[in-house]
Structure 1
Amino acid sequence: MSAPTPPSGTPTQASGDRDDLIFADEADLSLPSPIRTAGAATWRILVVDDDADVHSTTSFALKNVEMQGRPLEFLHAYSAREARAILEQQPDIAVVLLDVVMERPDAGLQLVRQIREELGLIEVRIILRTGQPGYAPEIEAIRGYDINDYRTKSELTRTKLYTAVAAAVRSYQQLRALDASRSGLEQIVSAGAQLMALHGVRDVAQGVLRQAAALLGLAPAGVLCVRESGQGRPDILHVVAAAGEHARLEGRELSPQRYPRLADVAARTLGARAGLEADGWLSLHFPGKAGRDFVACIPFEGQVGDIERRLLDVFASVVAVGLDNVELVTHLHQAAFRDQLTGLPNRTRLVELLDALLAGPQRDAATLALVDLDHFAETNDALGHHFGDLLLVAVGKRLKSRLKDDKGRQLEVARIGGDIFCVLGDAGAVQPAAIQALFRVPFHIDGQDVQVSATLGLVRLGEHDGSGADALKDADIALKRAKSQQRAGHFYFSRSMGIEIRERVRMMHALRSGFQRGELFLAYQPQVDLATNRPFGAEALLRWRLEDGRLVGPDRFIPIAEYSGLIVDIGEWVLRQALAELVRLRAVGYLGFTMSVNVSQVQFRHPQFVDMLRRALDATGAPPEFVELEITESMAMEEPALLIEKLAQVKRTGVSIAIDDFGTGFSSLSHLQRLQVDRLKIDRTFVTEITGSARGSSIAEMVIQLGRNLDLSVIAEGVEDERQAHILRTLGCPLAQGFLFSRPLSPEALIAWLGNQALIEAA
């Protein structure tokens, strides 16, 4: 298969943020001088990628390049299936440049398995490439298969691509040359597999010393060191692993003063980036990414033969990849299971810990606590995100260091996101009082003392039946309940809470679907003048009828709508429907009719509420002077300054305001005077009590008198019998609504009811 035609012109530096295999002109690139040999064999490179540009760019970057005296020949496959067919027919391919993600996210890794297991090709070198850094090779694939290199396309400049391919070709050449030494080769492959099965750099380093000694027929001895460039002191070597008489050096610095010959051999190996034989030592060089190069120094008296040297070179190549992969896996593990800011376990790791605990005998005595910092967002906004980060780190350290069980062992502490921490351990130690006591002492952050408090949600794991993730959800439910009651408090999860939450979620989804299907409708309850019993308006009431005909009470679904935020859309729909009905009533002659519409606190607080009101008035053509919005007394008492400004904006539209359920809250009279409201509505509770309770009568009388003194209209709701109406008339209440006059009516029934009152006004 011939290479695709490369793009015209020479590729230049990638523009913007793209660097997907676009190679810059590199003036200092020093490629070996080509040695042309007529009829020379080629190194066959198979490029496997579903992006044609990658094929063209790769071929262009490496054209006219020779390696080990041979030119490169490119074969191209645009899918894993096509690549397998080529490999089956042409097994003498040296290197496969393989895209990890093609037709499926795991297509590349599946092809790796097929190459090694089904086709049995152990000599071909494989370089994995990906343009999507989030798709990392599976750890099992890295460990279990001989993958030569793994790179993101954005980091493969021309130099790095050449280096990776050259290393792979060299490795392939050596493998082919060592075919006669099959036992040694098999030992290397076995050693590589065994090394890949180990976890952590130290364990792998120990394994390297053992396997290298086995290849040489020696007992394990020597050291494996790492040098990290860019740390200010690049001459310092740290001993990662040691064996034999040098075992005591493990974990220490390799001092040139105390170990001059050993340190010199290690330094020379790193400087030459190649293994040496000198002063009774045999060294191996393991190049690493990010400036971290490793070197193994093994005591060796004698001379390494040509075959042994080649075996050791291949071994070093395998080990270098292994060390890189181990560091990659370590980094991925840290990213996957550790919170990057505090170093504590994250949500994923916490769920694992919970699952393990729930599966063991300790579950009955364990408790999980969520610790939510109160008002952290305000602290973050006021003092800056850097300050907030320092505070989170300090909170994590205090929780980790101060909380211990009865045996003095630290409890598990995690940060699962934002300002929420988790504490997991014995119930006797995970106590709300003990945790909250830690917050009584201020945190000293960046030269300032900061006092914070925390709210807790807790779950007794002995009472929990589900998984770790379920336990975390239950703790979150308890936390929300605690926050709804008071800050700096706590709440334990109970089964009834779980049932309640699940029912709320079920109803939330049903309400959203019902709203879309048109199951919500409005009913209108007439409002009358008590002196004449003549209707002057109506209150629009929201109702929900399910598909099976059953009605869901507003006291059940309206709080759900508010909690979910759906009330904003529903509220706008209600307002438009009610105003449209007002316009229809005016069209049939009821020109003095007023339409009253309830407004939810969530809806009223929405920043676009006033604009939405104006749009509804404009769209329906309803006269604002005959529109009344009802807000609750508790809403009127919260954030007075903001409310006064919002009410002023509403009043400028011409719409009037009534305070619903008046008398149930604790209104400040001075504050009430500042609010631009037009009407007070006596709550039905006091109307019900008016005939049998002196208190009910006195509160109703107080509201009526207050309205008279403040020049506000007053209406009583929930009037159900003539005796209540008579008392209200006696007290001077001018207006009322309730079952005595009419139940809530459909639009058609409302017009019929009004007609029966024979009160159609002349236009």
Structure 2
Amino acid sequence: MAADKDVLVFLDDETVAESYEEQAVWPVLLVDDEPDVHAATEMALRNLRFEGGTLAFTHAYSDAEARKILQQSPPFAVAVIDVVMEREDAGLELVRYIREELRDTSLRIVLRTGQPGYAPEISTIQNYDINDYRTKSELTQTRLFSSMTMAIRSYAQIRQIEASRSGLEKILDAARELGRPSGLHQFSRGLLTQLCALLRVDCDSLVCAAIRPSTQQPYVLAAAGRYSDWVGMPLHDLPNSGMRTRLEQSLVQRRHLLDGELSLFLGGTEGQALAAYLNIERELDSIEQQLLKVFCSNMSAAFENLQLYLDIETLAFQDTLVGLPNRNALLRMLEQEQAEGRTLALIDLDNFADINNILDENFGDAVLQAVAARLGERTSDDTMVARLASNLFGLYGTEAEVNPQVIEALFAEPFAISNGESLRLSATSGLVRTDGKCGAELLKNAGAALKQAKRLLRGKSLYFRAEQSRAARDRINMLQMLRSALSEQHLELYYQPFIRLHDREVVGAECLLRWRTPDGQFIAPDVFIPIAEQSGLMIAIGEWVLRTALNWRAAMNGRVAPDFRVAVNISHAQFAEPSFVGNLLRILREAGVPGYQLELELTESVAIENFERLKAKLEQIQAEGIEIAMDDFGTGYSSLSVLQRLHLNRLKIDRSFVSGEESSGSFSMVETIIAMADHLQLKTIAEGIETESQCAALLASGCQDGQGYLFARPMSEADFSSWLEARAGG
């Protein structure tokens, strides 16, 4: 067993029932309509001790008054009740009320009457568990003392039995829930309650020690009361030599020491063991000693089972990296509970792949551990926190604790990573309210909401709606249609020209993917490209785009300048393929196009790949004369150091910066990017140019090339050829 699995904490803030021999007072209810009887009874029993305590009387003078007191007061040990009061059977009706309506089976009842003719039948005494019945003339001080002593002794025994039963129930509950984070805690509380109830000891005197296999030394595992500072202390360092000796003897000899100060031994598997020291300051009788041996034998078996199940639970239901329940544990909880008024949230860390790849996996693991720690610390025990996948966490709890506001607050502050760094994270989440559905369906619906949120509300939360299931089905249908479109050649390339700004010459074109359905309708790229990337179909589509664009470039020879370049967008999924470079060069050779006539546009997300592998790929590509442009620059995650080390050829300034006026803040960013590119000896091209003023401002800032509606919209092959001819003729 791992070192962190051999710990049982036999201590909690739950109070163990008091020992009845040390009870200060026994509460007694006197019910009689004669005040003289109250006074005589109290005088007869005053200053007498019963089972180590004195009596505290509460007085009622009628059945109705007694019922009111019983409803409002703490439990009584004994009730002395007159049979005949305001009615001939008032006392018996009160007894029936106590047993049947209040369901109080612990209270001991002594009946008495001054009118023997109204004595209860034997069946009534048996059915209502009446301790004693006496006429008032029989109740001398001696008999009254004897009757009260028997009643209090019976009450104390019943309460002890109830305490023992409670402890056993807790042990059974713990055995049923060993896999939950609270399972070990509940098992420990039940064990402690049972032991204290069995021996009637103060828990301040309880110390437990554990021994690990091989060379590990015994140590104090848990301590109570005045020994609480000793937790974690090696056994050989205990200040109390007598206690230390007794525990060492139990652990070495693997047996109980019941003579004098107690040391109990509980053996486990693989050399694991527990020892408990009790200083109860009294001798145990033979029955108590036998009970202890049986108790420890049962607890040793429970301890072995606990160790076994903890191992199984850890493997099957716990995430070992962050120490949280895993997907199996969450699904089990959802299947078992199926409660109303609760919410399941799936939380996905945004851009975690970037963190994991740009930095390293160890840092990524530290980030996951920091997130897991915060989720656990800032949610109550009533909320289950789980890790379902790499950067996917789950929360399951009440709507008050699992909602968009709470999730946003969890990520509002930076996370302290293990190496001392501070990191801000955002998360996208999908939520679903429980409505009696099975666990698997809840997970599926929360997942559908999460996917929708990642598409539309990245960094925010979205509740599941039935329409999202339909949207998921629509995406599946669209994927099938896209596969057919690729195989049946319904995909097309459109081309938008690159213009050299200082003389308005055409120096190249970007190819743009278009999908026309059989009915002539176009499906927007931002709709189908994410589906293609998520499904893996983008690899095949990307190869088709590359081959089609290069064949078009070869066909344009003689109609454009030799240095006219065709730019092809390469997705991160394509570029990450190990065979990408080999396939690219093969297609280039098949098309008969020299490398300098091709430009690859990569988004900044490509930079999240392993840097050395990325650099090696780029060097292979550039060795063939192919230029590399970074697309949408300024919207992603690239740093200046990355740009310096990758030796790119061109920066493509995103349209969001170009669309502002020359005097606006966004255009100031354009000037900064161009100045930085100039410093790094990179060429620049701006997209989204729509006005002459934008063009002039870009030219004045030093930007070389541009594209946009000012010059031409994306065009089909035929329209592009016509456009070129019109320019030449003009």
Shorter-chain TM-score bucket reads 0.3 to 0.5
Greater radius of gyration (CA)? 2
Normalising by structure 1, we get a TM-score of 0.43
Q: Greater RCO between the two (CA within 8 Å, min separation 6)? A: 2
